[in-house]
Chains A and B, each alone.
Chain A
Amino acid sequence: MAREVLLKIEGLRIEGRAGDAWTEIVKGIDLTLHKGEVLGLIGESGAGKSTVGLAAMGFARDGCRITGGSILFDGIDLRQAPEAERRALRGKRIAYVAQSAAASFNPSHKLIDQYCEAPVIHGVMPRDEAAHDAIDLYRRMQLPDPEGIGFRYPHQVSGGQLQRAMTAMAMACRPDLIIFDEPTTALDVTTQIEVLAAIRDIVRQFDTAAIYITHDLAVVAQAADRIKVLLRGDEVEEAPTRQMLEAPREDYTKSLWAVRSFARPEQPAPQAAPILSVQNVSAAYGKVPVLDDVSFDIHAGRTIAVVGESGSGKSTAARVITGLLPPKSGGVLFEGKPLPLALKGRTRDQLRQVQMIYQMADTALNPKLRLRELIGRPAQMYLGLQGKALETRIRDLLDLIELDPDTYIDRLPGELSGGQKQRIGIARALAAEPKIIICDEVTSALDQIVQEGILKLLTRLQDEFGLAYMFITHDLATVRAIADDVVVMQRGRVVEQGPKAEMFAPPHAPYTELLLSSVPEMDPDWLTRLLESRASASV
């Protein structure tokens, strides 16, 4: 199927500024895209995927500059073309869909007004026609209430719907090329499927070429015709999707495939009484009920995974346990004795026993404090360590999380990578010498390779100190890797719970089934099969 070449990038070099020096972040990438073709661009963060994606529009972010190579879009050299000409192309012939639709929509305009902006500015069609067209596209994107949804403001629409509205908007001028920059990464599995299916359909319907940027192989396998793997600004390999999945050539590509294989050995069934049990807890934010009669137990040395989509109440359960949100009814037992419901009523020792690690290490570590104080404070406060003893403890903790104390002890969080920051979060929790650590989506903001490192570290610490983890996540791959027990939550209720082996073996509760089947598999036909089986099931 040799079709006309739409985009041809040759020897693309881009430099980024770090401090005063320019360093090369894209080192000579070639890329060819034919009309109507979808190219998957994958790699870990820092691989230069997004930078290449933006360069395909002839655009370099602030602090970046294109220093070499050529970008030919349908015969137009985007590097030589005047800015006015490039601007005329953007939005009309080349469109861009960003990762966070919530951040990309202007919050103070209605969706349909934002939709109509590009067609009107580019003179493609008048406003009335564009509005009609919007409704048509909303329908094709399978958005609920296509006639009405355009008249809502972005905050009145859910994340998955917003991402689809964004794709519809990118389609407004029927561009030849759309660049999708991690469009489903921020969504949970069940929503991801809907968005992925909608994107795939619309791209096929209009025969639009696309560059699909992501770090999730299984996702890109569903949508792309070809896949290109990037590593630190260099191309690792490129091949048609099927061939790439079945027979990757390079070691790096194979390692990406292998990441999902990490698993903690099965633990024997718990003998002792649970260390913490949540009993019939119902909780609400103001008048909005969030938890409804939730009960589960946490055992020493074991990991309990709490799964469910966003809004299912998983994080709220953690807030009840920590005392941040006193429940309306029910209670929490720690080692058989009831914990005071509110944070203020708890003793320092009770606080020490339950520690928390957050999803976003960026916001969980005070950016103005050095690691010494970040890690040292809990040790100082709970265990009364001072001076020499405190210093030794901080160094031991840094050793535990595999960071060199001499290098890191006086650094600020801003001087660390994402994975290292998350390790500091772990060290801070460990410093209190707790019995239970609540991990709230601790790996979901990280790359797969970094994720694996964090999971291994957590597992090692668990074996060493007999810690109990409550692992809140929507990523079932992580659950498979490290959980002993699983609690599935939906709309504030526990739908199903039990040991992992039972949970992953049929029969499932319907919602568990939906969750499990929504995890993308490394198979290009997976999405098609799944949609077919769901369609036939609903008939």
Chain B
Amino acid sequence: MGFAASVIGGLAALFAIAAGLRAVARISLKGQARSLAHDIPLTAAFGLLVIAIYTFVAIAAPALAPFPERDIVGGQFQAWSAEHWLGTDRIGRDMLSRLIYGARNTVGIAFLTTALAFVVGTILGLYAALVGGWLDQALSRFVDALMAIPALIFSLLLLTIFGTSVLTLILVIAAVDATRVFRLARAVAQGIVVMDYIEAAKLRGEGSWFLIRREILPNATAPLVAEFGLRFCFVFLAISSLSFLGLGIQPPTADWGSMVKDNATLITFGDVTPLLPAGCIALLTVAVNFVVDWQLHRASGLKEQ
């Protein structure tokens, strides 16, 4: 009961801090940032706070972690104690430290992967919509073909072919995800390229890169940002599931997905420790989705009645 209570208490504290920060922001900020602070719902403020904490932990991991990431510092499966706050894992590494380093690895890799998928998918999608014709057809049908293969199976296949390094992991998942981004970017841009202002820019003699960058992209940001948040969560889960299957981030690098798998046996003994990394994933996913919802709401231009 104590554990459940502390989780709920922790979340409530986070919400309270988020509300406090929002109140401070509303008073201290100026101009556009201020109206943004007025606009932001509590859930989104909470989401931003959680993301900020994760980012901080990921960056400051070496300073925060009491023990090194990969060293064996105690016995196997030690219980929670003053020295090892969250106990030790299967081979005696400190759980808390690995959890902290895991933020760096899992979140960092997920972020890089999503960013890469977005850069590639968005540019190709917007370009295909702008140019149209056979290039659009070729790219779109190629993407359709890739999307026809189930994502997880496809990544497993590629990872077995190219080997499991962090770099291939990033590239493979980015490639799989870029197809989804491509579809979205192309669909959004198709509604934009028919506008008169695009025709006006073409008549002015603007090149494709300018059209994509200055005329189309600013009008497509809202749905793309929203998609970025969602995609980020999916990438996160994909990495974690690949790690769980043993094809993702390789030991001894700390990673939340493999940490669940490695310590799963503890669950049978009624210990919640292996669920903590899963909880970290869940919390970040929820936080990102709160922010995404807010962005979607802003993008749709709907005001609450």
Q: Does A351 contact B203, Cβ atoms closer than 8 Å?
A: yes
Which single residue of chain A is at the shortest CB-CB distance from B220? A368
Contacts of A428 in B (CB 8 A): 200
Chain B's closest residue to A348 (CB) is: B205
Instruction: List the B residue with the shortest CB-CB distance to A428.
Output: B200
Q: Which residue of B lies closest to A364 (CB)?
A: B196
A330 at the interface (CB under 8 A from B): no
Q: How far is the CB of A98 from chain B (nearest CB, A)?
A: 22
**Beta-carbon contact of A360 and B196 below 8 Å:** yes
Q: A360-B196, A366-B215, A367-B219 are in contact. Are A322 and B203 (CB under 8 A)?
A: yes
Question: Would B218 and A343 count as touching, CB distance under 8 A?
Answer: no
Cβ–Cβ contact A381 & B195, under 8 A: no
A368's partner among B203, B205, B218, B305 (CB-CB below 8 A) is B218
Q: Which of B174-219 contact A (CB under 8 A)?
A: 195-197, 199-206, 214-215, 218-219
> How long is the Cα–Cα vector from A428 to B215 in the complex, in angstroms?
15
Q: Is A334 an interface residue (CB 8 A)?
A: no
Q: Assess the B203–A62 pair: CB atoms within 8 A.
A: no
Residue of A nearest to B222 (CB): A368
Q: Are B204 and A381 in contact (CB under 8 A)?
A: yes
The reply to whether B203 and A358 contact each other, CB–CB distance below 8 Å, is no
Cβ-neighbour of B197 out of A364, A382, A432 (below 8 A): A364
Contact between chains at B197 and A351 (CB < 8 Å): no
**Which residues from 119 to 175 on chain B have a C-beta closer than 8 Å to any C-beta of chain A?**
none
Complex alpha-carbon distance, A367 and B205, angstroms: 20
Shortest Cβ gap from A363 to chain B (Å): 4
Interface hits, A402-432 → B, CB 8 Å = 428, 432
Which among B200, B206, B215 is the interface contact of A356 at CB below 8 angstroms?
Answer: B200
- The reply to whether B195 and A363 contact each other, CB–CB distance below 8 Å, is yes
Decide yes or no: A369 and B205 within 8 Å by CB, A62-B305, A358-B196 being known contacts. Answer: no
**Max chain B Cβ within 10 angstroms of own Cβ: one of A63, A366, A432:** A366
Contact call B200/A364, Cβ cutoff below 8 A:
yes
Contact pick for B205, options A63, A324, A381, CB 8 Å: A381
Q: Check if B214 sits within 8 Å of A369, measured CB to CB.
A: yes
A378 near B203 with CB under 8 A, answer no
Contact (Cβ within 8 A) B204 A378: yes
Encode contact with A along B263-297: 1 for CB under 8 Å, 0 otherwise: 00000000000000000000000000000000000
Q: Mark A421-457, 1 if CB is under 8 A from B, else 0.
A: 0000000100010000000000000000000000000
Q: Does the CB pair B205–A365 fall under 8 Å?
A: no
For the complex, is A110 an interface residue (Cβ under 8 Å from B)? no
Chain B residues in 8 Å Cβ range of A62 = 305
Q: What is the number of contacts between chain A and chain B, taking CB atoms within 8 Å?
A: 49
B204 x A343 contact (CB < 8 A): no
Interface string of B207-243 (1 = CB under 8 A from A): 0000000110011000000000000000000000000
Smallest CB separation, B12 vs chain A (Å): 30
> Are B218 and A356 in touch, CB under 8 angstroms?
no
Q: Are A368 and B219 in contact (CB under 8 A)?
A: yes
CA distance A230 to B216 in the complex (A): 40
Please indicate the chain A residues that have their CB under 8 angstroms from the CB of B203 in the complex: 322-324, 343, 351, 355-356
Q: Mark A463-487, 1 if CB is under 8 A from B, else 0.
A: 0000000000000000000000000
Output the least CB separation between A470 and chain B (Å).
14
CB contacts (< 8 Å) of B196 on chain A: these are: 358, 360, 363-364
Nearest CB of B to A20, in Å:
9
Q: How far, in whole Å, are A428 and B197 apart by their CA atoms in the complex?
A: 11
A509 to B219, CA, bound (A): 47
Chain A residues with CB under 8 Å of B201's CB are: 366
Q: Is there an interface contact between B218 and A366, defined as CB atoms closer than 8 Å? A: yes
Q: Please determine whether B204 and A377 come into contact, CB atoms closer than 8 angstroms.
A: yes
Contacts of B218 in A (CB 8 A): 366, 368-369
- Inter-chain contacts of B215 with A (CB < 8 A): 366
The residue on A at minimum CB distance from B217 is A368
B-facing mask of A370-390, CB < 8 A → 1, else 0? 000100011001100000000
Contacts of A351 in B (CB 8 A): 203-205
Complex formed: what's the CA distance from A277 to B241 in Å? 67
The chain A residue sitting closest to B195, CB to CB, is A363
Question: Measured between C-beta atoms, what is the minimum distance from B266 to chain A in Å?
Answer: 52
Q: Which residues of B contact A358 (CB under 8 A)?
A: 196, 200
Most buried by B among A62, A343, A368, A377: A368
CA distance A366 to B193 in the complex (A): 11
| B residues in contact with A381, CB < 8 Å | 204-206
A243 CB to nearest chain B CB (Å): 43
- B197 contacts which chain A residues (CB < 8 A)? 363-366
Closest A residue, CB atoms, query B200: A364
Bound Cα distance from A366 to B196, whole angstroms: 9
Closest chain-A Cβ to B116's Cβ sits at a distance in Å of 25
Which residues of chain B are within 8 angstroms of A373 by Cβ–Cβ distance? Answer: 214
**Which B residues lie within 8 Å of A363 (CB)?**
195-197
Contacts of B305 in A (CB 8 A): 62
In the complex, A479→B219 CA distance in Å?
Answer: 36
Which residue, of B197, B201, B219, has the highest number of chain A Cβ atoms within 10 A?
B197
Which chain A positions have C-beta within 8 A of B199? 324
A365 to B218 Cα, complex, angstroms: 13
**How near does chain B come to A362, taking the closest CB pair, in angstroms?**
9
* Shortest beta-carbon distance from B80 to chain A in Å: 50
- CB atoms of A366 and B219 under 8 A apart: yes
Q: Which residues on the B side are within 8 Å of A343 (C-beta)?
A: 202-203, 205
CB distance from B195 to the nearest CB of A (A): 5
- Complex Cα distance, B201 from A365, in Å, reads 10
Q: Note all chain B residues with C-beta closer than 8 A to A348.
A: 205
Shortest distance in angstroms between A296's beta carbon and chain B's nearest beta carbon? 20
A63 contacts across to B, CB distance below 8 A:
303
Within 8 A of B (CB), among A312-363: 322-324, 343, 346, 348, 351, 355-356, 358, 360, 363
Taking CB atoms and an 8 Å cut-off, the chain A residues in 261-308 that contact chain B are none
What distance in Å separates the Cβ of A406 from its nearest Cβ neighbour in chain B?
17
- Rounded to whole angstroms, the CA-CA distance of A358 and B197 in the bound complex is 9
Could you tell me the distance between the alpha carbons of A481 and B247 in the complex, rounded to whole angstroms?
76
Cα distance, A34 to B199, chains bound together (Å): 51
For the complex, what is the distance from the CA of A377 to the CA of B204, rounded to whole Å?
9
A119 to B236, CA, bound (A): 55
CA distance A215 to B215 in the complex (A): 34
Top 5 A-B pairs ranked by shortest CB distance?
A368-B218, A364-B196, A366-B197, A363-B196, A351-B205
Starting from the known contacts A358-B200, A366-B197, 5 additional A-B residue pairs (CB-CB under 8 Å) come to: A324-B203, A351-B203, A381-B204, A381-B205, A382-B204
Supply 8 A–B pairs (Cβ within 8 Å), ascending by A: A63-B303, A322-B203, A324-B202, A351-B204, A358-B200, A366-B214, A368-B218, A381-B204
